[in-house]
Amino acid sequence: MLLLTGCGGARDATGTGGSAAADGAAIDGSITVFAAASLTGTFTDLARRFEDGHPGAEVRLTFAGSSDLVTQIIEGAPADVFASADTRTMQQVSDEGLLAGTAVDFATNTLQLAVPPDNPAGISSLADAARPGVKTVVCAEQVPCGVAAAAVTGAEGVDLDPVSEESSVTDVLGKVTSGEADAGLVYGTDVRAAGGSVLGIDLAEAGAGVTTYPITALAESPEGATAQAFVDFVTGPEGRAVLTAAGFGAP
């Protein structure tokens, strides 16, 4: 868990009990945000910005694969906001009656091949990543980036034989940056955030595996107004600007 502390004031926001302006609910207290691993950089930034604008508010961030986060939420882990890397995992939480309202789509993402800077395997396409002897890593099928990978490989007619399947996209990227893999299927935003530690190779059928990110406050949150205020912040103009700068697409 990444703990971020800071300050923030009150503003109008709709929580589980209605509008902060209408019921006098303050935008303060501590909230825990469960977010997909691919949101690590942007949500760390957004949490700090939110706290700067709301004295008394604290945002605690937990990042992991969306499917792992769903399991934790359903099993009762305390969380106030959930930001998933696909609508399927959000629907699982909705089916359990755990959403405070309707989830809002706030970003999209597509996959790239990440390779080491010197690209020792000479990879220039998804077909190259499927060559015998090439060590390629992907996300597990139950993880959103794994679902996207299956869609893209299917669209390109490529049958990958990965050396490992990871539980989050950041784990896939870590295999590439550490030199354990010749290539990994990750989101384009992860390639951008990694800077010069990897090279990104565009995929011909990346559009076949577009990932849509939804966010919502959770029904059991004791800080409903603050949780909803954070959701509104992420989906508002400042949140949109931060996401765009990181390479995320509009929903």
Q: How confident is the model at residue 26 (pLDDT cuts 50, 70, 90)?
A: confident
Please check if 66 is assigned to a binding site: yes
In whole angstroms, what is the distance from residue 205 CA to residue 224 CA?
41
In whole angstroms, what is the distance from residue 140 CA to residue 219 CA?
29
Q: What's the CATH fold of domain 30-108+213-246?
A: D-Maltodextrin-Binding Protein; domain 2 (3.40.190)
Please check if 213 is assigned to a binding site: no
Mean per-residue pLDDT for 96-116? 97
Please check if 164 is assigned to a binding site: no
Q: What's the CATH fold of domain 109-210?
A: D-Maltodextrin-Binding Protein; domain 2 (3.40.190)
Tell me which residue of 2, 25, 4, 5 sits closest to 14, measured CA to CA.
Answer: 25
Q: Is 138 exposed, middle or buried (0-12, 13-18, 19+ CB in 10 A)?
A: buried
How does the average pLDDT of the chain come out, rounded? 90
Mean per-residue pLDDT for 54-63? 96
Per the CB < 8 A criterion, the answer to whether 227 and 15 are in contact is: yes
Please check if 176 is assigned to a binding site: no
Tell me which residue of 61, 58, 59 sits closest to 37, measured CA to CA.
Answer: 61
In whole angstroms, what is the distance from residue 25 CA to residue 20 CA?
5
The two three-digit tokens of residue 105, written as one number? 């789509």
Output the CA torsion sign for 212, 187, 52, 5: positive
Its pTM surpasses 0.85: yes
Q: Assess whether pLDDT exceeds 90 at residue 79.
A: yes
Q: Assess whether pLDDT exceeds 70 at residue 11.
A: no
Q: How confident is the model at residue 25 (pLDDT cuts 50, 70, 90)?
A: low
Rg of the chain on CA atoms, in Å: 19
Q: How confident is the model at residue 23 (pLDDT cuts 50, 70, 90)?
A: very low
Q: Assess whether pLDDT exceeds 60 at residue 10.
A: no
Could you tell me which residue, 11 or 46, shows the higher pLDDT? 46
Q: Assess whether pLDDT exceeds 60 at residue 152.
A: yes
In whole angstroms, what is the distance from residue 42 CA to residue 189 CA?
10
- Identify the pLDDT of residue 210: 97
In whole angstroms, what is the distance from residue 1 CA to residue 129 CA?
33
Q: Start-end ranges of CATH 3.40.190.10 in the chain?
A: 30-108+213-246, 109-210
